[in-house]
Every structure is written in C-alpha cells, then in structure tokens.
Amino acid sequence: MAPVTIAPFEAAQRYAVIDLAIRAWTGVLDKTAEDVPRFVYDNFYPSGWQARQRADIGALLDTEAQNVWVALSADEVVGFLGLRCHPEDRMGEIVIIAVDPRHQRRGIARQLMAFADQYFGEAGFAMVMVETIGDSGHAPARQTYEAAGYQPWPVARYFKKL
C-alpha cells in the first residue's frame, strides 16, 4: 500500500466518502441491531441504517465540509474523519471516523486520530472527544480509541418505548 496522506476533503470526493462509510459500517450496525432494543434501532433507522448514514454524512459534507479530512493512498480515499470545535469546553470532537475495510488494520485510524489530536492541540484545546456505541459491533472502535490514549467516560442512556 502506498503511504497515506491526510488532506482536506474536496467536493469531488463526496461519493467516495459516503460509499466508504457504508462499506465500513456494514456488519457493524447489523450487530447494533442485535444488541440494542429493537424499537430504538427501528426509530433511529426507519428506512435502514444505510439510508440514515448516507443522509447524515451527506448533511455533514454539505454544512461542514471544511471540517472533514480524508486519508489518501495513491489518490484513493481510504479513510476520513469529521471534526468539530467546542471552544466553550476547550474541547475538540471527532464526530465521525471511518476506514475502508480493505485498508483496516494498517494504522490509518490511528493516523487520523493523531491528526485530530495535533489539529486541536494547535488550536489551543485541552482535550479531544470521540463517541461511539457500547455494542459488540463497535468494540473494535473502542479498542482503537483506548489504544490511542482516549479514556472512556461512563454514560448511561436509557430509552422507553411509547
């Protein structure tokens, strides 16, 4: 594999980014469906998780393209991340991160996270946050975050069907 570089997102990469996300989360969100209450999953994804992800990522690219970065290998988008600043908390947030399954386990996520750390550090922030689900499908993501030095903050989120 060619070396990976991180560059600002360009509009021409829109469909590569969205399609990469769908490939990356295929299987992951299927496990989520098994691990969370079905009414919760169905409310979040009434038209299926792919439709929701395409819409959410498309909206991010439409409204915050300047905060999206891509990992490129030989001009191919192999990963991406979206960042958001929270100056009131002196905190940066990784709002989305994904690596193409064909390129996983090669340190690309670690490189993207190191980029985020440097980006927010240079901006004067005191911390960086990334959030994920506690289900079995997202276990590899949690391992990646913890290996990069991120510490979990225990959160309990409860849902009740009406």
Give pLDDT tens digits for 50-99: 999 999 999 999 999 999 999 999 999 999 999 999 999 999 999 999 99
- Helix, strand, coil: what percent of the chain each, to 5? 50, 20, 30
Q: How confident is the model at residue 119 (pLDDT cuts 50, 70, 90)?
A: very high
Residue 62 and residue 55 in contact, taking contact as beta carbons nearer than 8 Å: no
Overall average pLDDT of the 5-13 stretch: 97
Mean confidence (pLDDT) of the chain: 92
Checking if the pLDDT of 133 tops 70, the result is yes
Segment 126-150 shows an average pLDDT of: 86
In the chain, the N- to C-terminal Cα span, in Å, equals 50
Judge whether 162 lies within some domain. no
Q: What span, in angstroms and rounded, lies between the C-alpha atoms of 79 and 101?
A: 9
Residue 153 lies in a domain: no
Residue 161: inside a domain, yes or no?
no
pTM above 0.85, yes or no: yes
The domain that holds 68 is classified in CATH as: 3.40.630.30
Inside any domain, residue 160: no
23 lies in some domain: yes
Evaluate whether residue 63 is within a structural domain. yes
Per-residue pLDDT band for 2 (boundaries 50, 70, 90) equals: low
| Within-domain flag for 13 | yes
| The pLDDT of residue 15 | 96
- State the pLDDT at residue 1: 62
Q: Is residue 155 part of a domain?
A: no
Domain that holds residue 87: 4-147
How many domains would you assign to the chain? 1
